[in-house]
DNA sequence: GAAGATCGATAACGTTGTTTTTTATTGGGA
DNA sequence: TCCCAATAAAAAACAACGTTATCGATCTTC
């Protein structure tokens, strides 16, 4: 319990953190390039030139890897949403919706980990769900701006953001599940998000 | 290639069909009672008192079992939707939406096979997707009735039914993924389906 | 410098989906 | 009636998976 001990513990911790990042990136690469099926402990281990044992000390098990990918996926989604810029709040909201769809269709395997249960045993705990929720803060902010500008009704942006999310998510989910074909998928997405916007614009009408 | 030969083949075919039904029911029981994780070829085989080999002759592999469960799930959903009766077309549509949600929340494991990709390797082929689409014919019929009664705009019920499905599905999917808590989940579902109804009522407004 | 602890690699275990081998059964011809 | 060929299921084997136990090696500390 000396100073050196603390330093050692810290150095090991940062080494472990570097290894953790490396493993997460390898796992993400595997996930994206070969799908959730290819995400095995052995493959991740060999991808970082290590054995499976270290993955168990760092992640605890496959659930830990899945959890890291879950958060990584929402982190990437947040980056994509934050990249959306538009002066008009309503335009921004529309573009956020389309960014959400694009993100899901592009990173299908990540989406599968995040919203389908692509890693058999795993389901996110409360903390990971909170991370997921926080990554949609951009959406909440945009709704707040639109409310402040008088473009959306109401004063609590959270439930409205959830409604918009559910709208976008519903169309995207059906599209990914194969129930909507290319042309109709985009139209369904547009119509449903527009419907959610319209409903949010006049909350007294519900 | 005699007549007897045909009879034998037929008798073997009906025996295989009976076995198939038995296996599907055992698999469904396993799926519902213990989740997608517990759905293994060995367990299904022992549940029907047979060996795994027969499952491979009947279903071809685990994908075949998953496909059978996929169709079975949509069949059960259809039965639930068809059980909804209401004189007023709009009331009927609302109750169909709630029946959809109830069905998803009740048979979560089936829902996982149908809309999440709970069986790792499997994804439905075109024929199975068609079966799935057909099971929502009740919804299309109800939309058609509402249009005929002048309660919904437009003349093509299919895209409107898809919109309503996407609305209900979006809220349910987020709820099942853990992103909506009990109280807010139902409210989000109600608001989104209401928004879809409202948008369908005046299609010129979009 | 030596004792002790800690961490990672190797190897093993149990289980999975799938395939191969073997065994039993069954229909058809001499 | 008896035997053979074909067929289907059972038993066993195989590769790969998640996970855990064993065993060196390295590194801190006295």
DSSP states along A83-126: T---SSHHHHHHHHHHHHHHHHHHTHHHHHHHTS--STT----H
Distance B46 CA to D3 C1' (A): 36
Considering only CA atoms, which residue is closest to the C1' of nucleotide C9? A51
The pLDDT tens digits for B172-190 are 999 999 999 889 999 999 9
Residues 6+ apart with CB under 8 A from B194: A199, A206
**Contact criterion met (CB < 8 Å) for B159 and A205:** no
The CATH number that applies at residue B94 is 1.10.357.10
Query: Last residue of some domain: B42, B60, B78?
Result: B60
Report CA torsion sign: B196, B202, B204, B206: negative
Token pair of B74 as six digits = 């949509």
> Which tokens go with A178?
């194969």
pLDDT of residue B3 exceeding 60, the answer is no
The answer to whether A194 contacts B199, with C-beta atoms less than 8 Å apart, is yes
Q: How far is B96 from chain A (nearest CA, A)?
A: 17
Residue A4 CB contacts under 8 Å (≥ 6 apart), including other chains: none
Percent of chain B past pLDDT 90, that is, above it, reads 86
- Contact (CB, 8 A) for A165 and A172: no
Tokens of B33: 């009672």
pLDDT of residue B15: 62
In the prediction, which pLDDT does A17 show? 81
B180 contacts on A by Cβ (under 8 Å): 162, 166
**Boundary residue ending a domain (B60, B76, B106):** B60
pLDDT band at A125 (very low <50, low <70, confident <90, very high): very high
Residues A91 and A55 in one domain: no
Report the C-alpha gap between B150 and B179 in whole angstroms. Answer: 36
Task: Let me know whether A81 and A127 are in one domain.
Answer: yes
State the Cα–Cα distance between residues A192 and B200, nearest whole angstrom.
10
Rounded distance, CA A59 to CA B62, Å?
30
- Between the CA of residue A12 and those of A5, B83, B197, what are the distances in Å? 10, 62, 58
**Shortest CA gap B5–chain A (Å):** 42
Same domain, B37 and B119: no
Average pLDDT for chain A: 91
pLDDT computed for residue A3 by the predictor: 37
In terms of domains, do B82 and B142 share one?
Answer: yes
pLDDT digits (tens, 9 = 90+) for A29-57: 999 999 999 999 999 999 999 999 999 99
Band of pLDDT at residue A203, cut at 50, 70 and 90:
low
B3 and B19 share one domain = yes
- Is there a contact between A184 and B159 if contact means CB atoms under 8 Å apart? yes
Residues B150, B152, B153: CA angle, nearest 5 degrees: 90
Q: Which of A153, A156, A132, A129 is nearest to A202 (CA)?
A: A153
Do A79 and A120 lie in a common domain?
Answer: yes
> Among the three residues B43, B60, B77, which one is the final residue of a domain in this structure?
B60
Do the chains contact at A171 and B171, CB–CB below 8 Å? no
Give the pair of three-digit tokens for residue A2.
Answer: 């000396």
B37 closest CB neighbour out of A120, A167, A169: A120
Domain count, chain B: 2
B107 and B176 both lie in a single domain: yes
Instruction: Indicate which of B152, B170, B200 best probes the interface with A, i.e. most A CBs within 10 Å of its own CB.
Output: B170
In angstroms, what CA-CA distances link A144 with A153, A156, A190, A201? 10, 8, 22, 12
Contacts of B74 in chain A (CB under 8 A): none
| Domain assignment of residue A34, given as a range | 1-60
Task: Give percent of chain A with pLDDT exceeding 90.
Answer: 86
- CA-based end-to-end distance of chain A: 63
Mutate to test the interface with B, among A156, A170, A176, A181 (most CBs of B within 10 A): A170
B200 interaction partners in chain A (CB closer than 8 Å): 195
Q: What angle do CA A98, A101, A105 make, to 5 degrees?
A: 140
Give Cβ neighbours of residue B155 (< 8 Å, ≥ 6 apart).
B147
Q: Do B196 and A194 touch (CB under 8 A)?
A: no
């Amino acid at each position: 319990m000396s100073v050196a001990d603390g330093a050692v513990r810290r150095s090991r911790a940062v080494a472990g953190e570097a290894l953790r990042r490396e493993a997460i990136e390898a796992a993400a690469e595997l996930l994206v390039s070969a799908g959730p099926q290819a995400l095995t402990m052995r493959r991740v281990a060999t991808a970082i030139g290590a054995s499976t044992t270290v993955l168990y000390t760092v992640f605890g098990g496959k659930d830990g890897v899945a959890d890291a990918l879950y958060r990584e996926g929402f982190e990437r989604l947040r980056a994509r949403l934050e990249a959306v810029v538009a002066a008009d709040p309503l335009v921004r909201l529309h573009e956020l919706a389309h960014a959400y769809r694009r993100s899901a269709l592009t990173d299908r395997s990540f989406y599968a980990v995040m919203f389908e249960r692509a890693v058999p045993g795993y389901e996110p705990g409360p903390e990971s769900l909170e991370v997921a929720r926080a990554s949609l803060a951009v959406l909440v902010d945009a709704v707040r701006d639109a409310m402040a500008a008088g473009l959306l009704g109401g004063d609590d942006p959270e439930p409205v953001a959830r409604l918009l999310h559910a709208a976008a998510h519903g169309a995207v989910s059906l599209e990914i599940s194969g129930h909507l074909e290319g042309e109709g998928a985009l139209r369904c997405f547009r119509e449903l998000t527009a419907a959610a916007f319209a409903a949010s614009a006049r909350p007294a009408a519900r």
